[in-house]
Structure formats: structure tokens, C-alpha cells
Chain A
Amino acid sequence: DIQMTQSPPSLSASVGDRVTITCRASQSIRTYLNWYQQKPGKAPKLLIYAASSLQIGVPSRFSGSGSGTDFTLTISSLQPEDFAAYYCQQSSSAPHTFGQGTKLEIK
């Protein structure tokens, strides 16, 4: 299985901050990397697919980059509704493993 290592596990930030979450794959996954947001008690929501393609309806303050083994999710200016958990997932090779998650909290 491909291992996905996400960092940091948790992050405290303020409204308006720029935040970056990283995800590293144990082998090359080209650009088969997806990002999800999950709020408490809710199902995950797809934010970005194919490393950098923004899902329809997702605000443009979210962006993704990377290829091969190293990827980032950036939120350019945090809004109150962005405080949630974020997960990366590789879909290059089954099983399509997730990172451990990053919990983004209000400072």
C-alpha cells in the first residue's frame, strides 16, 4: 500500500491567516492526489482533485499543488467556516489511502 504522511497533525491559526498543509506519498503518485474537508458530524467534502483542480463550488482561497510525492493544500486567507479537519488521499493505486488528517483550529 502507498503510505500518505500528512503534516502537521494539528494547526492553530487566526481568521485571515495563510495556511499550508503538506502531504507526502511513499512513492510517486503523479498528480493522483485529492483533498477533503470534514466538519464535525458531517461527511467529508471534496475540495481539490488531481492535485490542483478546484471542485466546483469550492472558494478560490483554496488551492493545491505538487506532483510525484510532495503536495500542498493552501488556504490563502482563513475564514471562520474553514476550521475543520483536512485529509489528503492518493487515488493512483488501490487501496486509495488517506493521510492521517490535519485538524485546523482557531487560535
Chain B
Amino acid sequence: EVQLVQSGAEVKKPGEYLKISCKGSGHSFAGYEIAWVRQMPGKGLEWMGIIYLGDSDGRYSPSFQGQVTISGDKSTNTAYLEWRRLKASDTAMYYCATQEAGKYDALDIWGQGTMVIVSS
């Protein structure tokens, strides 16, 4: 069974560094694009950006460009989302998902989500 497994919940202070992960299993994800989606508490879904694991080149929504770094490691089927200096407004659930070219780039397989809480 193909699945994405995300790293566990995080509680951090403003200004701290954080990197969360999304690991694919059951298939080689080297040819896949992995998207990151933010969901702030009680709010809707926001597409943050995407990484092609084959070349580890992240592409970003303008809303998130410069705020986060998306990276990947095809040897371990893992995508990452990184913040150099967290803010309270980064508190949210973060999902990764495969962007399936054969399904018009729909987000096909989802991780279970990583809750990030940023509070002093």
C-alpha cells in the first residue's frame, strides 16, 4: 500500500528552527511531486508549494516564498518543510500529499498531518 507518513507534532517557541518530514512508502517516489498544504486552526486549505523528488527543486506559492523551504531526498523517499525562524502565525496543521500528474495534478495520497504549535 502506497502511503505518506509525516513526522510527529511539534511545540516550539517563536524564533526557533523547525524541519518536518513526509516519508513515502510502498513505492518509489523519485518520480513524484509532493505538495505541502497548510490548514490554520478552524480554517481552509492553502497550497504552499511543491517538490519534485527527482531533482529536489522546490516551487512555492508567492504567499509562502521566503517564509519556508521545501526540500527532498529521493534516496529516502522523503520530503521536508523547514522554517528558519518560526512565528506564532505558523501555528497550523501541515499536510503533505502526492500531486498526481495522471490525475490533472490532483492531490491523491495524503499524509496524516503534522500539527505545529508556536507559542511563547
* Chain B contact residues, CB within 8 Å of chain A: 35, 37, 44-47, 49-50, 59-63, 95, 97, 99-100, 103-108, 110-113
Contacts and interface: CB of A to CB of B under 8 A. Distances in A.
Contact of A50 (B50, B99, B104): B104
Nearest to B46: A98
Interface of A: 1, 31-32, 34, 36, 38, 43-46, 49-50, 53, 55, 87, 89, 91, 94-101
Contacts, number: 73
Contact of B104 (A45, A91, A94): A91
A95 B45 contact: no
Contacts of B47: 89, 95-98
Contacts of B37: 44
